[in-house]
Structure 1
Amino acid sequence: MKMNLRKLLLAAILLALTVVVGQTFIIGIPWTHGNINLSDAVILLAGLLLGPKLGFLVGGGGGFLLDLISGYSQYMFFSLIVHGLEGLVCGWLFFKYGRSSLALICSVLVMVGGYFIADSFLYSMVTGILGVPTNLLQGLIGGLVGQIIFVKINKKVPLN
């Protein structure tokens, strides 16, 4: 599959935007050792616009870099995988079935499950359980924002 320059440039911009948005709109959650941010909106948007491969790149790279610079380095490699899978699943389901709602919901569930595993591994299962509601809230808000932006720009950004 040949990837065009427009898609690669958009992926690079969205990766950088994931970090900027995640760093700008951030609320620390002490009992989970994590935070709520809007990076999921950009990751999910990347999956919807660019598909699974670049969705993985934007999600994984953006999540990794965001954790690195925001003081959550213990999550860097988990975020690489979890947010990478979030973008991949979103892009794969949307490109396969054409239903953004299905892609967004499944992707958010992947992210919530991934961070449950990460928190349980890093700290305890109780910490993992405590993180589920905040991660679900972050994912749902990110999905809603990502969907709104997707609808607005999908018609104006020719990627093929």
Structure 2
Amino acid sequence: MKQEYTKELVFGALGIALVFISTMFLKLPNSIGGYLNLGDGFILLFSGLLGPFASFMVGGVGSAFADIAGGYGSYAIATLLIKGAEGALVALLVHRSSRLRLPAYLLGSLLMIAGYYVTDSLLNASWIVGLAGIPGNLIQAAIGILIAMAGAPFLQRLKERPRE
């Protein structure tokens, strides 16, 4: 039992680090003050492996730290909540059934897109301006799903590997 907690902690810390790095250093600014990044792929990937709380931390903390460090501090609290909820939702669904992996990734991505639409609209004081972020978030979500689907079998084998 203790070994499972240790694995959850180690994989959670690795997830936070990878989300931070892939968000902070692999990004393209968009026209409405945000940016596209590859962090969603690692949020989805680790959320398919970890429990809901750890997945919330991976998505929320890794992404919010990247916002703060990257000069997008006005998004940090919203990012913590949006990306954290994305991770927790995916974890809840995937842990019910592994057959729900792709639907969970899709629902988590839709939650992220909706969350950033509201955030962009509020930060830009316009529900119309907020619409401009949706295409980029759709692309980000699609790439994230591809990353997670490709990496899930590898990460699952790594987690199940017996200790030597």
User: Aligned-pair distance for 1:144?
Assistant: 0.9
Secondary structure of residue in 2 paired with 1:33 = coil
Give the Cα separation in 2 of the matches to 1:91 and 1:58: 11
Secondary structure of residue in 2 paired with 1:8 = helix
Q: Aligned ranges for residues 103-118 of structure 1 at < 5 Å?
A: 103-118=104-119
Secondary structure of residue in 2 paired with 1:27 = strand
Structure 2 gap ranges (5+): none
Q: State the AA in 1 paired with 2:19.
A: T
What corresponds to 1:129 in structure 2? 131
Q: How many pairs were matched up?
A: 159
Give the Cα separation in 2 of the matches to 1:51 and 1:105: 18
Give the Cα separation in 2 of the matches to 1:63 and 1:153: 20
Moved over 4 A (4+): none
What corresponds to 1:16 in structure 2? 17
Secondary structure of residue in 2 paired with 1:155 = helix
Secondary structure of residue in 2 paired with 1:50 = coil
Q: State the AA in 2 paired with 1:56.
A: F
User: Aligned-pair distance for 1:96?
Assistant: 1.4
TM-score of the aligned structures, taking structure 2 as reference length: 0.91
User: Aligned-pair distance for 1:138?
Assistant: 0.3
| Percentage identity across paired residues of the two chains | 31
Q: Aligned ranges for residues 14-93 of structure 1 at < 5 Å?
A: 14-30=15-31, 32-93=32-93
CA contact (8 A) 1:7 1:159 kept: no
